[in-house]
Amino acid sequence: MNLKVKNALISVSNKKNLITVLKILKKFNINIISSGGTYESILKLGFRCTELSKYTGFEEMLDGRVKTLHPKIHAGILHDRQNIKHKDEMLKQNFPAIDLIIVNFYPFQRIVKQKLNSKKILENIDIGGPTLVRAAAKNFKNVTIITNINDYKSLIDELENFKGKTTIGFREFMSSKAFGLTAYYDAMIANWFNKRLKIKFPERKTIFGRKLQKLRYGENPHQESSIYVSDYEDKKLGFIQIHGKDLTYNNYNDMFASLEILSSLKKNSSTVIIKHANPCGVSENKIPFISLKNAFASDPISAFGGVVACNYKINKKIALEINKSFLEVIMAKGFDNDSLTVLKRKKNMRIIDISNFKHKNHTSIKSFDGSFIVQSRDDIILDIKKLKCVTRLKPKKDELAEIQFTFNVCKYIKSNAIVICNNFSTVGIGAGQPSRLDSCKIAIQKAKQFQSSKIKNSIAASDAFFPFVDGINTLIKAGVKTIIQPGGSIRDKEIITAANKGKIKMLFTGIRHFNH
């Protein structure tokens, strides 16, 4: 059903491009009602407008907190044009119909980003705007609601094509967008309160997100996908793509995994290589080039087609080394001009500057079939002072930093996880196996395949306790000389006995790092 637009109410904090709408409203003789700054802007642009207080006969009050909250406004929006009783009531009150609402809200989101005081933030929680929007969106059979300046063109085209009328399809679509906006707006406010009051797990959890980009497909070509930003800064992710093809679902998944690991490595130049959300190479070194080389050496075959993340700036020498491999994405804290010249020879490789990226969210969420689970992020860094050595052989002080590094990397590997390191670099990783023994075997097999000499005197970390001595004995036999694990198995005594018999050092952390 196409309906003629006779009266429009406009109340916008963002006045951009408003003139384009005013022109089309004038063309079809549509009356305009407005108030405050919007009313003044409309007059300055040279268009006629009825001031809201004159329309309702009620002066706005409480510093503008109460102006659109009036029966004449809401009855004009909410009444059913096909309901005889509604028509009679409207005639009796002499309330005209309002057919078009154009609203955007107080800039709560922008004010929060500016980190102003709570009083200023609270004053920018819009009440009248969302109320108008919800009323119009509910009555989409009769009313058109526009909440985004990006939809002005669609409104203009609609009015042009249908000679001052709007179609039911258009009104319903705009209604869906309107309810999405009010839900998003309220979710931002609820989350602000939760953060302010330090409520980690509220009774009702609302997750807000703005679509950043539709992706070509999901993990597989038959799956649809988009990426959303759940942050008050919702138009970017904190990193900049300089070059290469559009990022895919799998790219983002691997990138986020690499950034999480990288954020925990802060002492030296660090390199993380990710493949299918699992690291296949992690290395720290004072010299960036060596860090890169060591990370690739961990598993150069798996690194093929992977994502590389670095917490240092890329120069020409490093870029030339990177270009020896096929990679999907390279992320770094800056690129000099010479390095970009080299890297851009790879037409499709995505080059991402992460100089300004910062972790903000302290929770992780997984969803399934209408439910979701929420937990705090596993961002604990092992305290060396709290390590408990349970074997006769004890590590020297200068060994503790590398032991800490190995256990830290282990928490980012899919369980069951075993990581073997030497000289602050992974040399073997066993990930995601139902059996911890299998993870031990895979880590050893990887180490033997690529860096067999580095297994000797290496450090092994396990994300959870060893349930049997078989895993320990397998690592000892391969040449591992230090094992760090949470402990807590009913067979800990047997395992400690095996470690002493194998003349290795073993440390218990009391911290488990399952990553499913």
Is 446 one of the annotated active-site residues of the chain? no
* Contact between residue 475 and residue 460 where contact means Cβ atoms under 8 Å apart: yes
* Contact between residue 178 and residue 130 where contact means Cβ atoms under 8 Å apart: no
How far is residue 318 CA from its own chain's centroid?
A: 29
Task: Retrieve residue 516's tokens.
Answer: 């499913």
Q: How many residues does the chain have?
A: 516
Is 79 one of the annotated active-site residues of the chain? no
Helix (H) or strand (E) holding 157: helix 152-161
Task: Retrieve residue 157's tokens.
Answer: 């085209």
Q: Among 177, 276, 316, 317, which one carries the catalytic annotation?
A: 276
Task: Retrieve residue 288's tokens.
Answer: 């960036």
DSSP codes, 395-460: --GGGHHHHHHHHHHHTTSPSS-EEEESSSBEEEEE-S-SSHHHHHHHHHHHHHHHHGGGSTTEEE
Q: How many CA atoms lie within 13 A of 316 on its CB side?
A: 3
Backbone angles phi, psi at 482, to 5 degrees: -140, 135
* Contact between residue 432 and residue 416 where contact means Cβ atoms under 8 Å apart: yes
Pairing between β-strand 418-421 and β-strand 371-376 as defined by DSSP bridges: unpaired
The candidate with the shortest Cα–Cα distance to 38, out of 18, 67, 68, 63, is 18
Q: Among 6, 138, 177, 245, which one carries the catalytic annotation?
A: 138
User: CB 217: neighbour CB atoms within 10 A?
Assistant: 14
Catalytic residues: 138, 276
